Amino acid sequence: MIRKQFFGSTGHKSSATLFGAAALGNVTQETADDVLKLLLEHGVNHIDTAASYGDSELRIGPWMEDHRDKFFLATKTGERTYSAGKKEFSNSLERLQVKNVDLLQLHNLVHPDDWDMAMGADGVLRAAVEARDQGLLKYIGVTGHGLLAPTMHKRSLERFEFDSVLMPWNYTLYMNTKYRRDFEELVGICVDKGVAVQTIKSVTRGPWAEKPRTRGTWYEPLEAQEDLDLVVSWIIGQEGIFLNTAGDVNILPRILDAARRHRGRPSDSQMKGLVKARRMTNLFVS
């Protein structure tokens, strides 16, 4: 079974590897139900979805009647205003077939203009707080893509007591001195405040080259089991850090297997060897 650890200050012990339910965005219900069995077998007890993940919420909905109490359920809204965010979250509850979720996250909040709108008097944050007060959700988080995510998350934590953050983290980003510094500074703040830290894009090889895309991810993922063993263990070998699985159901079993067998964090020499052997590149540019 995959190790459990406290999800920030929520009191919930989530599996160190969370299910990134973007993988369900374009699959049948039959395939989704097979994924559910896999999650239960590995002890994954935390689902991370979003309103914008295609049919993901619709595929999770049928699971909830019998399994709601087995999962910490998180979704996201990409809206920025109060009214639009309130409406989208209401639709998410209906699609998920639940009365409430554990966590609602403000999705990809990194652009300063979006940030000002979301945090303003008529912003989506007000809708999230209102929903929390009504018992429709327990916790509020913020997510981000790109190199500005850690910096913007620090700004968000100065404005509001978010319960979780989510951002990219992998070894090629670790090799980016500025990003590593920003990431580690944010993690220090999160530890002090009891904020959960979730990571994405952890199994990225790099942008897709000029060749057919064979996976559901918008980036080219690592796929060999020995490669996934290294990158998964590198992430969850960092105390308190959570790894969100990749957005492709075909790679999911190998990621979960790597997390189940995790015994320690690989060395820098091992990770540098992987970067060189697989010609890994940064997904994001300045």
Structure tokens at 2: 């995959």
In this predicted structure, the answer to whether residue 135 has a pLDDT above a threshold of 80 is yes
pLDDT per residue as tens digits for the range 58-112: 999 999 999 999 999 999 999 999 999 999 999 999 999 999 999 999 999 999 9
CA distances from 9 to 13, 69, 128, 138, 159 (A): 10, 19, 18, 12, 18
Q: Was domain 4-277 assigned CATH 3.90.1070.10? A: no
Q: How would you label 208-224 residue by residue, b for 16+ Cβ within 10 Å and e otherwise?
A: eeeeeeebbbebbbbbe
Tens of pLDDT, residue by residue over 159-206, are 999 999 999 999 999 999 999 999 999 999 999 999 999 999 999 999
- Contact at 8 Å (CB) between 232 and 259? yes
